[in-house]
Structures are given as structure tokens and as C-alpha cells.
Structure 1
Amino acid sequence: MEETISLREIMEVLRKNLWIIIASMCLCAAATFGYLQFFVTPQYEAVSQVLITQNAQDQNSAVQNSEIQANIQMVNTYSVVIKSPRILKSAAQEIGPQMSLEALAGKVSVDSVQNSQVINIHVVDANPDEAIRMVRIVTKHFLKETPSMMKISNVELLADAYTSQKISPNIKVGMLTGMFAGLVIGVVIGFARRIFDERFKKEEEIVARLQIPVIGTIGNITSTETASHEDNAARRRKKK
């Protein structure tokens, strides 16, 4: 027969297992902090910016909407060019013999500011100084190779990379995630204890599960009552 749990019983289960839930949250948060702090390698990101300027023949003419859209499409083209083997291969060679084309491609990402002619070149590395050095090299080779590749010279450096920032791991987010996981685990343990507890707690449960009537009940005997009965028994023995 199916057993249903009312809202009151749910709150009672949570109350009785509150210490398990809190302990589980603390344990998971501590485990997450230890893992992120000692086993995850921090990653740093350096960013440089490149500006796609208008062609020389457009400098003295009014900029029409179609021309702006064409420039934005050109930004998308350049975003693909930056990660092309022609750019990254020469950049990887300058970075060092230990840097392969595939490894550098995994570190470089490109995006553009929405509806603008600015391209952001990102490089992520475990060494903050290396991230800055690599993004500068990639940007330099992009500016060097683009004129001959695209047959135009409308690309210029807008902002070079001078600093890098830590992007992972995020300790705060990790600990919050760990606490939430601990909360879920604690609640699951609490309800598992309730579901697998075969003891009868109410008369209705006996009738529902065993299909037999309850003839009588015996109340809980307190330690005071037990001690009183033992004293009375001792007195009777003395009188005999």
C-alpha cells in the first residue's frame, strides 16, 4: 500500500534531520573549497583590442547604414582570421618551441563588441605574465599578416594588454554550489531515513500496513516511574 507524506510530516522530517543537513552543507562547502584551492590550477586572462577602421576611400564620404553593416561583417571575418593557422602558427613559433598550434588555439578566443568595429582578443593561461605576452604576440602577428592577407590596411591596435585577471576558479561560486549540493544530499538522507524506518509511529500505520485492529496501547515509561517501582519492590522485599 502506498504511503503518502503530508506537509506536516515533511517539515517534521526536515526538523529531525536538521543537524544532518547542516553538517552535509558544511562538509560539501569545505570539500569544494579544498578542491578549488589546492587541486585546481588558477587561470588568468589577458585581453587586447583591435579596431577595424574604414577604408581610405570612405573617409571623405558620408557613412551610410550599409557601409556600417559592411564594416561589422568585416569584423566577423577578422574574428575568424585571428584564429586561422596562418596567424597562430607564426605566433606559436615566436612564443616558444613548447607551444604548438593546437595548444595556442585552445588558449585564444575572439569576440566583438556588439554593433561596433572593435575586436577583443582573449588569451587564457595559468601564468598571468605569459597570458599577457601571448596575447601581445598573437595581436602583433594579426596586425602584421592582415594587410597582405586581406589586401587592405584598415586594422590598427586600439588597446594593448598590460594586465591579466584571474577568471577561475571562482571560490565564492564554488562554495555556494557545494553548499547547495550539501543541502540536497542532506535532504535526501533525511527522507531516506524516514522512508526506510520500519518502526510504527502511529496507530493508523499499524491498521494500514498490517490490516489488524489495535486492541490497546502502552505509554512510555519514564526513568522516574522505573525508579519508583524499583524502590517499592525493594521495600516489599525488606518487609518480608
Structure 2
Amino acid sequence: MESTMTIKDIFDVLKKNVLIILGIMIVCMGAAFCYFKWFVDPKYEAVSQILITQNAQNQNSAVQNSEIQANIQMVNTYSVVIKSSKILGDAVERLGDGTTMGDLAKKITVDSVQSSLVINIRVTDKDPERAKLLVKTVTTSFLSITPKMMKVNNIEQLTDIYSVASVGASLKVGVALAMMIGLFIGIVVSFLRRFLDDRFRTEAEITKRLDVPVVGVIGNIEDSEFQEKSRYRRRSRK
């Protein structure tokens, strides 16, 4: 078999196996659609933002700098406080729907942008409205309990608008990815079939792949022609 393939050979392989490629792509896309449709639950994330404000209004830059650094350090403390049993317990009582602190804790993540005074409270749930309710309740509990508990008055909600976005696996993205995977598998299978097939189909193939001249060709005998000759021989014998 030849060690190299021309662009024409590649296109010939793809053309001959186009149905196989399309079939594998359709199977992969169908499998991905079924998986994302029936086995993957949608997830939505609601976000609330808390701002750590500055108490000092001193114009001295050194004092302001110190104040900012202290507040940045407080961000880490507040991030832990938000997921504490005191805050979550109060939030569970406010919800009053049987939600446990354990379930609520699993749905909450807290983060902040590096060197910023903003804390992001994120809650993930299958229902976007439920996610919004949970993050709103946790935020309310944090703002009502923390000032008294830590003797501070430098925290406030940045905005009372709770953004909700889908964060789960996307059906469209999953099907598109499956299509690309199916295309890749189909192309691989096509070339495997080509490289594992040692049959010769044309004289040109023999000359090209073996680098030897063709000295003769045995034609195919059709069944009808063979049967006709057999009947002719039997009549001749009679």
C-alpha cells in the first residue's frame, strides 16, 4: 500500500464514506440530546453582592490605605460568616419550607474579586426562582445578624437586584460538541476502512500501489452469460 495519500485520495475516501460519517454524527448527536434532555438537570445561579464600606472619612492617605487593607482582610472573615450555622440557621427559619442547613450550605458559594471590597454570594438550584429566593434570604440574614454579632456597621447590599443565569450543561453546546466528536470518529473510521482494505478495484490502483505494470485483465463473467453458455454446451452435447 502506498505510504502517502494525495488530497484527491483523501476526498475520495471521505466521499465514499460520507454515509458512515453522517450516520455516526447523527448517532452521537442523538445520544447527547437524550442524555442532556433526560439525565442532566438544569442549574441556575443567583448572585447577590455585599459591599464593605469605609468608616473613616479622613483625608490622610495613610489612614485611608490602612482602612482599605483592613476592610479587604475583613472580606475573608465575612465570607466564612456567611456560611456559618448562625446565618444559615436564620435563613432556614425565614424560608420555613423544610430546607435544612446542610442542603442550603451545599448550594452556597462565596467569593470576592481579588483586592476588592465586594463579596459575591452565589446560590445554585434547579429552579431559577428558587435560587433567587435562597440568595435573597441568605443575604437578608447576613445583613441583619452580622452588624450586631461583630459590632460593625460597614456592610451593605450593593444592589437589591438579584441576577440569575443558567450555569448547567447547555443542550445546544452538548449536541454541537457531540456533532464534532461524531465527525471526528466518522473520519477516523473512514480512513481505518481505507487503510485496512487491501483489495484492488481498478488497474490504476494496482499500478499505483504495487508499482508494477498490468499485463492482463480477466473480465467478469455475468451470471446470465454463464448460464447461457452452459445451456449452449448442453444442447451441443445432445
The TM-score bracket by the shorter chain reads 0.7 to 0.9
* Contact residue 79 and residue 110 of structure 2 kept, 8 A: yes
| 1:125 corresponds to | 125
* Preserved contact between residue 32 and residue 174 of structure 1 (Cα < 8 Å): yes
Report SS of the residue matched to 1:173: helix
Q: CA deviation at 1:204?
A: 7.3
1:75 corresponds to: 75
Counterpart residue number, 2:85:
85
Describe the superposition over 1:189-231 as per-residue Cα deviations: whole angstroms up to 9, x where unpaired: 22332344353565479979xxxx99855256497xx87x679
State how far apart, in whole Å, the 2-side matches of 1:188 and 1:128 are.
Answer: 42
Return closer, same or farther for 1:206/1:36 CA change in 2, 3 Å cut-off: closer
Deviation at residue 25 of structure 1 after TM alignment: 1.7
Distance 1:4 1:87 in 2: 72
Summarize the Cα distance change of 1:4–1:136 in structure 2 as closer, same or farther, 3 Å threshold: farther
* Aligned partners of 2:42 and 2:126 also within 8 Å: yes
Q: What CA distance in whole angstroms lies between the structure 1 residues aligned with 2:77 and 2:2?
A: 61
Equivalent residue number for residue 111 of structure 2: 111
Post-superposition CA distance 1:2-43 (Å, at most 9, x none):
x77523355443332222112222332233223223332222
State the shift of 1:171 in Å. Answer: 2.1
C-alpha displacement at 1:116, in angstroms? 2.8
The Cα shift of 1:52 comes to 0.6
Cα distance in 1 between the residues matched to 2:210 and 2:2: 15
The two structures have a TM-score, normalised by structure 1, of: 0.75
Q: How does 1:160-175 map to 2 (within 5 A)?
A: 160-162=160-162, 164-175=164-175
1:137 and 2:119 equivalent? Answer: no
**Relative to structure 1, is the Cα distance of residues 110 and 214 closer, same or farther in structure 2, using a 3 angstrom cutoff?**
same
When structure 1 is superposed on structure 2, of 137-146 and 7-16 the one drifting more is: 7-16
What amino acid sits opposite 1:71 in the alignment?
N
Question: Quick one: distance in 2 between partners of 1:175 and 1:220?
Answer: 49
Partner of 1:218: 217
Quote the Cα distance in structure 2 between the aligned partners of 1:152 and 1:4.
Answer: 80
Give the share of equivalent positions with the same residue, in percent: 44
SS in 1 for 2:153: coil
The CA distance in 1 between the partners of 2:29 and 2:58, in whole Å, is 62
List gaps (5 residues or longer) in structure 1. none
Deviation of residue 120 (structure 1)?
Answer: 1.7
Question: Are the equivalent residues in 1 in contact too, given 2:91–2:141 (CA < 8 A)?
Answer: yes
Contact map agreement 1:50 1:155 (CA 8 A) in 2:
yes
2:101 maps to 1:101: yes
How far apart, CA to CA, are the structure 2 residues paired with 1:174 and 1:41? 13
Structure 2: tracts of 5 or more residues without a match:
none
Q: Which one-letter code corresponds to 2:59 in the other structure? A: S
The two structures, once aligned, show a CA RMSD in angstroms of: 3.6
From the superposition, tell whether residues 214 and 115 of structure 1 become closer, same or farther in structure 2 (CA, over 3 Å): same
Q: 1:183 to 1:60 in 2, by over 3 A?
A: same
